[in-house]
Amino acid sequence: MKRTEIAELGEFGLIERLKKYETRQHASTLKGIGDDAAVWKIDEERYGLLSTDLLAEGIHFDLGYTPLKHLGYKAIAVNVSDIVAMNGYPKRAVVSIALSNRFSVEAIEELYEGMKIACERYRVDLVGGDTTSSRSGLIINVAIEGEVSAQRIAYRHTARVHDVLCVTGDLGAAYIGLQIMEREKQVFLANPEQQPDLTPYDYVVERLLRPEARLDMVEEFRKREVIPTAMIDISDGLASEILHLCTQSNAGALVYEERIPIDRMTYEVAVNEFKIAPTICAMNGGEDYELLFALSPSDFEKVKDHPDIVPIGYLTHPSEGTYLQTRGGNLVKIEAQGWNHFKKS
């Protein structure tokens, strides 16, 4: 049998390959692999949502600079973000952890304290899970269940040509936060007596270590009587998420570089300290946990004055491709160059 390396496929190629093993035994199951959450029918008015995320030490986080309380908070927040991306409300979560004997009971309580704080913030019931030992560091898996009105659910595959493409918040900050923490880690390893001063970078570091899910936007959409025609959370970089949304909605897109929201601190640190184009941080960095969504032109009129919703372009016919128009007016094909879980070392 031919051996195929996982790195050849990458995360999304592997998921596509595994789709053939998806099973459907119940008529109430409406959506499986391919969106931010699975969907099933509760009744005529409500759909249930289910999602899961796994965080592995050395892959998704570094305990050299990640406080356990922050990590617990993040583990819940990134799962809430998946439910939010379906325009739903989170309800219940279960947490499974694998850990080695280098962790004390007090350390694990610190982790769970962060989870508790996040659950209280997002109104999530933490109702159980599982624990086991690990020989390869700390592993955290959260499964979260939520609910959405059947009339208000937002999938990835239902956007339409001419819809306005929008994002929330600002992008690229988590990536710059990661660069800072990795740099300071190397400084500390070279000279443990030199303690880092992260005060000048508080915003971008917090975006990395303690991200927030945009649950507030679900309520904002409801209040303004707006329903995104498609939505996805930005966990793997804006470029990757644009391609997901466009591919599944059979659409192209034109995105304007000048419209991509980037915080001043992100911009200045990227340019002055790391010599990185801020647009690259936003397009390919990931872990921002903001929302990318499409709105009909009429619905966009209802939110265009919102300070945290930014139009970055619009959807086009699929034959027109998916492009970024630079500040200089050039068209650059959008390609997913975000972080690859299975890249070759």
Q: What CA–CA distance (Å, rounded) separates 18 from 9? A: 11
Contact between 122 and 81 under an 8 Å Cβ cutoff? The reply is no
pTM more than 0.85? yes
CA 275 from chain center: how many Å? 25
pLDDT value, residue 194:
82
| pLDDT of the chain, 345 residues: tens digit per residue | 788 888 887 777 887 788 888 888 899 999 988 899 999 999 999 999 999 999 999 999 999 999 999 999 999 999 999 999 999 999 999 999 999 999 999 999 999 999 999 999 999 999 999 999 998 899 999 999 999 999 999 999 999 999 999 999 999 999 999 999 999 999 888 888 888 889 999 999 999 999 999 999 999 999 999 999 999 999 999 999 999 999 999 999 999 999 999 999 999 999 999 999 999 999 999 999 999 999 999 999 999 999 999 999 999 999 999 999 999 999 999 998 754 554 544
Residue 128, judged by CB atoms within 10 A of its CB (0-12, 13-18, 19+), counts as exposed
pLDDT value, residue 340:
53
pLDDT value, residue 343:
52
Contact between 302 and 225 under an 8 Å Cβ cutoff? The reply is yes
Q: What CA–CA distance (Å, rounded) separates 300 from 294? A: 9
Q: What CA–CA distance (Å, rounded) separates 71 from 139? A: 11
**Per-residue model confidence as pLDDT tens digits over 209-219:** 999 999 999 99
Task: Please provide the DSSP assignment of 269-319 as one string.
Answer: HHHHTS---HHHHHHH-----EEEEEE-HHHHHHHTT-TTEEEEEEEE-GG
Lookup result for tokens 């390893």: 189
How are beta strands 290-295 and 230-234 bridged, if at all?
antiparallel
pLDDT value, residue 345:
43
**Per-residue model confidence as pLDDT tens digits over 250-297:** 999 999 999 999 999 999 999 999 999 999 999 999 999 999 999 999
